[in-house]
Amino acid sequence: MSSAPGHRWTCLDIDKQEKPRESAGVARFSVFLMTLLAGCIPTRTIIPKGVHSPFADYTSDLYGDNDMWLCKPDLPQNPCASADLTATEILPDGSTRRVPFQPAADPPLDCFYIYPTVDLDPNPGNHTSFADTAPMLKVTLSQAARFQEVCRLYAPLYRQITVGTYAAPQWTLDERLAVAYSDVADAFAHYLGQYNRGRGIVVLGHSQGAFMAAEVLRHFFDGDPFLEPRLVAGLVIVGRVETLPGELSGGTFSSLPVCTDPDEIGCVVTFRAYRDGANVAGDMHGPPAGRESTCTSLGPPGPDGRTPVAGSYFSTFGAGLSRRLDDIDTPYVFYQNLFSTQCVPGAGGFKHLSVALDRSPEDRRPLPFDLDEPRFEKTMMGLHTVEMGMLQRDLIQIVERKGKVFRAKKPTL
């Protein structure tokens, strides 16, 4: 599909946007210049007036079409349910074993997932063609499909911004992010109206998807008397979640707190991962004055203060691996207890998740990459390309545990 069937996205009329008063000649030139710099900014998807929480029976004109969903339980052919997620586990003695994957038959929770940036166009823009959804599906299978062990997975397509948009002027970035989020918001409202039926909800996103996840949490759940009680957890991975100093909320969210306990529900799990000892400059991601950045511990620490990583899944067809792993013929490779993590402060008040290799001298497992590689050190991206796989088993376990607490506390919601 090139776009949603029967739906055409038109360009935003920049001339009608609010601007400072100018002379007619200057105004015409400003509009011309803005249009030239911005290109075509598509119009936003609008939820009709009068439609509000809890969005009972709401049907989206756009997301009522199955073609606008990458993965959804009732799709005639749901690629997230049918994909081969078999992994080869590499054991400490160097031997291997196959680890099959089977989604839960009737999981008790719902996971709403927003995929990260896959459009690598260096020019500012929104991704408006869905003729080829392979890039979106590839990252969704790597990052989110395994959560089907514990939840039903919903993943909408949306007009995300291109990677080049991040270098555009701030007004262009803001306008195009608003277009992308308008799709996500409409998809989520449709999900609430048609599929949720009072089930516990996990909102999950990474990178650009984390920005969208935070917006969903802020606009739909934060302080909402109908929907906040349905939130199991938000997983905002590599998103900006900030709080008031010494508090667990009051910054990005008014009432939703950052998770501090494994059995806490209705809270937010968030982190940005870097190699232990990396030179992390916090000016790009650090908090503004009067705010604190946040980092969620993924489990109880050991004697050294670090938390062992339960399990890591890496795609054997992805960009994360820099070393060839011989005799691996499955789509994924799996390691248990290969890394450890710890939330640490950084420059400018920037808290982040420190990740270190953590194995005994007798451990003979070949590594999928070297944490000392320049790509993990010399950019502000840190472990961006591998962190979701590196910590995936732990995140699934967090959702599973919080889901059990949710069902015990709210069995009749």
- With vertex at residue 396, the alpha carbon angle to CA 100 and CA 236, rounded to the nearest 5 degrees, is 135
Residue pair 336/321 in contact (Cβ under 8 Å)? The answer is no
- Residue 65 CB neighbours (<10 A): 15
142: Cβ contacts below 8 Å, ≥ 6 apart: 313, 315, 318, 332, 388, 389
* pLDDT per position as a tens digit, 126-155: 999 999 999 999 999 999 999 999 999 999
Question: Using CB atoms within 10 A of its CB, is residue 186 exposed (0-12), middle (13-18) or buried (19+)?
Answer: buried
All residues at 6 or more sequence positions from 87 whose CB lies less than 8 Å from its CB, including other chains = 98, 99, 101, 313, 330, 331, 332, 333, 334
Three-class DSSP category at 223: coil
DSSP state of 145: G
Instruction: Please list the ranges in the chain whose pLDDT falls under 70.
Output: 1-39, 281-285, 318-320, 322, 378-379, 411-413
User: 284 Cβ partners below 8 Å, 6+ apart?
Assistant: 380
Cβ–Cβ < 8 Å for 11, 42: yes
- Separation of alpha carbons 193 and 216, rounded Å: 15
Q: Is 322 exposed, middle or buried (0-12, 13-18, 19+ CB in 10 A)?
A: middle
Q: What pLDDT shows up at residue 313?
A: 96
The pLDDT, as a whole number, for residue 319 is 60
Say whether the peptide bond before residue 5 is cis (omega within 30 degrees of 0): no
Cβ neighbourhood burial of 384 (10 Å; 0-12, 13-18, 19+):
buried
pLDDT computed for residue 29 by the predictor: 42
